[in-house]
Amino acid sequence: MDIEYIFENNRQWIADKLKKDPEYFKKLSGEQSPEILYIGCSDSRVTTGDLMGIEPGDMFVHRNIANMVSNTDLSAMSVINYAVSYLKVKHVVICGHYNCGGVKAAMQSKDMGILNPWLRNIRDVYRLHKDELNAIEFEEQKYNRLVELNVQEQCVNLIKTAEVQKALLHSQITVHGWVFDIHTGHIIDMKIDFNKILKDIMEIYRLES
């Protein structure tokens, strides 16, 4: 890939935007007020803007390997805090995807160096849902289900944070668990029953009464 190609594309993109709206960059350089916080995988095949038709300014984004929400990850925690408490987003989306290399790597008995502690979080998801996952006969189906369960558990991790609990308590945000089906291009809403999950976990994780 010729890296110069990117600059050519950039010039073309600027021209296209200005043709449609001569004030485009004036507006874009104002304050941001995105309504969505998106937490997704770093995978190069999952391009957030393209597949959702999202324009610059619409969505605050955090991406890492296998769309994890780890409570010791200062970067993810800062993004969540800023998006929920300051930008006051209305929706938080955690979006996984089938064929996730991070999820696959976590299922292999292999020393992956610095990736070990990161992937261990996914192994923990497997342990939590071991009975269901072990009962799945086909390997690919097992991976796919783990991708879905990982999204669900990362939504739970999100709900463990004080700012998200506060916003949920005041009905300021909605949490969504999605999976991008890389085979068809569809985004699947997992329709996670957060009321049920909240009821189960809040006894332990509640930070406010």
Q: Given the rule CB under 5 A, which of 5-13, 98-106, 137-145, 155-163 is the region that contacts Zn ion?
A: 98-106
Two structure tokens written together for 107: 């299922």
Binding flag, residue 106, Zn ion (CB under 5 A)? no
In the complex, least distance from residue 102 CB atom to Zn ion, rounded to whole angstroms = 5
- Is 95 known to be catalytic? no
CB of 63 to Zn ion, least distance (A): 9
Question: Looking at the DSSP assignment, which residues form a beta bridge with residue 38?
Answer: 61, 93
User: What is the total count of residues that contact Zn ion (CB under 5 A)?
Assistant: 4
> Quick one: which of 93, 95, 100, 151 contacts Zn ion (CB under 5 A)?
100
Task: Supply 155's token pair.
Answer: 């939504």
| 11 is a catalytic site residue | no
Task: Mark whether 97 is an active-site residue.
Answer: yes
DSSP letters spanning the chain:
--THHHHHHHHHHHHHHHHH-TTHHHHHTS----SEEEEEE--TT--HHHHHTPPTTSEEEEEETT----TT-HHHHHHHHIIIIIS--SEEEEEEETT-HHHHHHTS----TTHHHHHHHHHHHHHHTHHHHHT--SHHHHHHHHHHHHHHHHHHHHHTSHHHHHHHHTT--EEEEEEE-TTT--EEE----HHHHHHHHHHHH----
> Exactly one of 36, 37, 39, 41 binds Zn ion (CB under 5 A); which one?
41
- Choose the catalytic residue: 95, 97, 155, 176: 97
Regarding 122 and contact with Zn ion (CB under 5 A), the answer is: no
Is residue 21 flagged as an active site residue? Answer: no
C-alpha 136: how far from chain center:
25
32 versus 47: smaller Cβ distance to Zn ion: 47
**17 or 63: whose CB is closer to Zn ion?**
63
Assess 153 for contact with Zn ion (CB under 5 A): no
Active-site residue flag, 123? no
The verdict on 43 binding Zn ion (CB under 5 A) reads yes
Report, as residue numbers or ranges, the catalytic residues: 41, 43, 45, 97, 100
Footprint of Zn ion on this chain (CB under 5 A)?
Answer: 41, 43, 100, 102
